[in-house]
Structure 1
Amino acid sequence: MNRRDAIKNVALLLGSAISASTLAALDGCTSSAPKNYALQAPETKSTLAEIAETIIPETGTPGAKAAKVDDFIVTMMNDCYEQKDQQILLDGLKKIDEASNKQYKKAFVDLTAEQKTAVLTEIDKERVAYNKRENKGKDDPTHYFQFIKELTLLGYFTSEPGATKALRYVAVPGKFEGCIPYKKGDKAWAM
């Protein structure tokens, strides 16, 4: 099984956490897709790293930065998404900085962890409202924060730190066991 198939399988396991647009993008993955070099800019990657770390912070397990989720997002956007989607993400990063400047008079990367969480919480509320609106058309673009959240989750839980430290991991599963006792606080299983 190659990495692309493994990512699709994990995406299916995450269920509603991954949208149809992200699953469709996985079918179009190719390293020959036109690259958007603005995604690879240091300031873009820095902002993506801070956003991902805010979504999955380091706690008793490594966070999104340790899993290099920013590199994953850039690679996925460049290899699997159309240019219009890449531009939506880049424009969204500008909107996040605008929201940070409006509320705190600082760029997102310069905020405290609590301020970053507050900014992203408001943006996530906006994303939910955008996805629930009544006059939504099937050709409407995906909300930029949808891309960021989904790729953060996908990148983290398919990374070595995410699969082995945040989840329980068995490299070679043994026999099928239909009933495994669950203890409160147990980690979910990785594949």
Structure 2
Amino acid sequence: MNRRIALRHLALISGGLALIPSCDFSSDDILAAYDNLKVTNSQKQLLGQLSDTIIPSGELKGALDLEVQDFILVMVNDCMKKEDQELFSQGLAAFPAYAKKSAGAKFENLEARQKEDLIQNGLELEGEDNRAVSYFLNTTKRFTMQGYMASEYIQTEIIPYSLIPGRYNGAALISETQKPRING
């Protein structure tokens, strides 16, 4: 083997080894879909758990099954003012510490009743220190309900939506098994 080629390969390998410690191989990258928010994948999962606590699955699909966390992030990213987006992001980042301090454990390790109590107490927080967490939880609750009720599953299978109402028949009897028509 040629000595020059061997030295060149050695220099490339040692340079590559010097760069490896500066590389970040963590899987908690910032999601690129939300331009105005700096949301990581773990924060998105936390948001999904919060929305699932607000509307859990049971007889009907829950908020996590309908991926309402994506709706929440899109609404915050696209429809809110910059100041409100920053406050939401601060609350999202501060919520795990609030959960740890209030409940003594991570949010995902709590039981369902403890999660509900934690969210209910967080909605009623007052003071400048807790402003971001309270705003985050109130916004999450509002957009969870809005996204759940506007989902395709609810609008087609649970509450049949009719864009244009049919004829009015005042003599029709409504049975208890019939699905309600909210628009006519």
Same fold per superposition (TM over 0.5): yes
2:48 equivalent in structure 1 = 49
Q: Does the 8 A contact of 1:97 with 1:108 survive in 2?
A: yes
Task: Go from structure 1 to structure 2 and tell me whether the alpha carbon gap of 1:109 and 1:96 turns closer, same or farther (over 3 Å shift).
Answer: same
Q: Does the 8 A contact of 2:99 with 2:107 survive in 1?
A: yes
Q: Does the alignment pair 1:114 with 2:113?
A: yes
Q: Offset of 1:37 from its aligned partner?
A: 4.0
Any idea what SS the aligned residue of 2:58 has?
coil
1:3 equivalent in structure 2 = none
Any idea what SS the aligned residue of 2:121 has?
helix
Task: Go from structure 1 to structure 2 and tell me whether the alpha carbon gap of 1:150 and 1:71 turns closer, same or farther (over 3 Å shift).
Answer: same
2:147 equivalent in structure 1 = 155
Distance 1:88 1:169 in 2: 37
Any idea what SS the aligned residue of 2:108 has?
helix
Q: What letter corresponds to residue 174 of structure 1 in structure 2?
A: G
Q: Does the 8 A contact of 1:164 with 1:190 survive in 2?
A: no
Distance 2:48 2:57 in 1: 12
Distance 1:51 1:180 in 2: 42
1:143 equivalent in structure 2 = 135
Q: Offset of 1:123 from its aligned partner?
A: 1.3
2:5 equivalent in structure 1 = none
1:38 equivalent in structure 2 = 38
Q: Does the 8 A contact of 1:67 with 1:162 survive in 2?
A: no
Q: Which has the higher contact order (CA 8 A, sep 6+)?
A: 1
TM-score normalised by L of structure 1: 0.62
Of 153, 165, 168, the match for 2:159: 168
Provide the aligned C-alpha RMSD in A.
3.1
Q: Offset of 1:178 from its aligned partner?
A: 6.7
Q: Offset of 1:170 from its aligned partner?
A: 3.7
TM-score normalised by L of structure 2: 0.64
Q: Does the 8 A contact of 2:68 with 2:148 survive in 1?
A: yes
Q: What letter corresponds to residue 68 of structure 1 in structure 2?
A: E
Distance 1:53 1:152 in 2: 9
Distance 2:122 2:173 in 1: 39
Distance 2:171 2:42 in 1: 48
Structure 1, unaligned runs of 5 or more: 1-33, 131-141
- Percent identical among aligned pairs is 27
Q: What letter corresponds to residue 38 of structure 1 in structure 2?
A: K
